[in-house]
Amino acid sequence: MSNQRKLILHLGCHKTGTSAIQGALYKSRALLSDQGFTLFCKNPDGTERVSGDALTWVRFRFCPHRRVHGLVRPGFAEALAASEGNVIASAETLSWIFDPKEIHQLAENLYQHFDSVRLVSYVRRQDEQAVSHYQQAAKHSGFIASRYFGTGTRALPEYGEHLQHYLNYSCRLGYWADAFGQSNVSIRVFDPRKLVGADAVADFFELTGLPWNGKSERKNESRGLVFTKTARLLSQGRLDYTSWKDLMQHIPDSQPMLPSRKSAREFYEHFREGNLLLNEKFKISKDTTLFTEDFSKYPESDMDCWDEDSANAALEGLIKGFLSANPVSSPDIEVIRRAANAIQPLDPSLSYDLINVANSLGGIRPDLKIEAGFRSRVRSFLRKRPLFPWGR
């Protein structure tokens, strides 16, 4: 048996089945161990991450040029090396590292402990990647994504040159190839038509040759228009996570939130040249453009704006969230006040009325139930006034 130590490092990207891959790795630890591999999924403090990832080994700085810049925490290479035998680790936060010097330093540190390092990365067509990743920014936990992609309420982020740092795969993955050697970098297209079994998890284990339990779960799937737009607005209101979660569990799912075919194509064109260069260098896909350039899944017109049905669905969900706080407590009243502040730029009148509702509740003792008359008043208010102005 060879005494050479191997490391497999899965870089992501985000929104390419990464969480499902990490979950499958965690459930397959015993099988991996039988093959001489240890899954590294620890925090810097040594505690285990049952999600199967090593995300917390990347910290972040914020700057005007890149907006987000990832840095490897000290001791990462040593922590990996402390694991038994060969090692596999998955951390899509590594995809936020845009500085080639940082990547070269990581390579130097890793090769002090491992004889071979193999990198695996999945890439997704940039319009699809941006739509999915941008929607993640709506989640309360999506702070990094919202910092990078922005907090607008459309399906696609507004294009800016800073997006090239993440979405220009030729440049970003080229840094890793320069540091670790091109032959040590495996790049796969995240497209069911090009994946083994049309599944990222099955494809990953086939690519790496590692054993697994044969079961994959879909995770972190995108939500519809009503949920995503409401979540973004509430997140901008700076609600604490508990309040945000309590409200959002009442917001229904709905039709997908999608840009128009024209908008998606125009966004993609900013990165097409880089895709050609990446495919020419790595011979990833039979398509010379790397990705299949079929945009037919998008509608002719944008599907990312409020209409009467979606706006009222959002308001009904928010009101249900308010009314479910029974009895009324100070934190519940604070939720109403913060929600009122969040929607003030869009509907000052509604914001004012919600503030009045919160103030009227402020004198109610926490042990009192919400009276039926109040419920009726809120429902009547809901019927009379939609939450958001139509259009964008």
Residues forming a β-bridge with 71 = 59
DSSP assignment string, 157-211: PPP-GGGHHHH-HHHHHHHHHHHH-GGGEEEEE--GGGSGGG-HHHHHHHHHT--
- Residues 270, 272, 276, 278, CA torsion sign: positive
Predicted local distance difference test score (pLDDT) of residue 369: 40
pLDDT at position 309 is 80
Say if CB 339 and CB 234 are below 8 A apart.
Answer: yes
CB 252 within 8 A of CB 313: yes
Q: How many CA atoms lie within 13 A of 311 on its CB side?
A: 19
Give the pLDDT of residue 46.
96
pLDDT given at position 354 = 76
Q: How many CB atoms lie within 10 A of CB 289?
A: 14
Q: In order along the chain (392 residues), what is the average pLDDT of each group of 10 residues?
A: 85 94 96 98 97 97 86 98 98 97 98 98 97 73 79 86 97 98 98 95 97 75 76 69 76 84 98 98 95 96 81 79 62 75 76 74 44 49 44 36
pLDDT in the model for residue 316: 81
For the entire predicted model, the pTM comes to 0.77
For the chain, list the domains and their CATH numbers: 6-208 (3.40.50), 225-255+306-384 (no CATH)
Q: How far apart are alpha carbons 124 and 95 in whole angstroms?
A: 13
Q: What is the pLDDT of residue 370?
A: 41
In this predicted structure, what is the pLDDT of residue 167?
Answer: 98
pLDDT at 207: 98
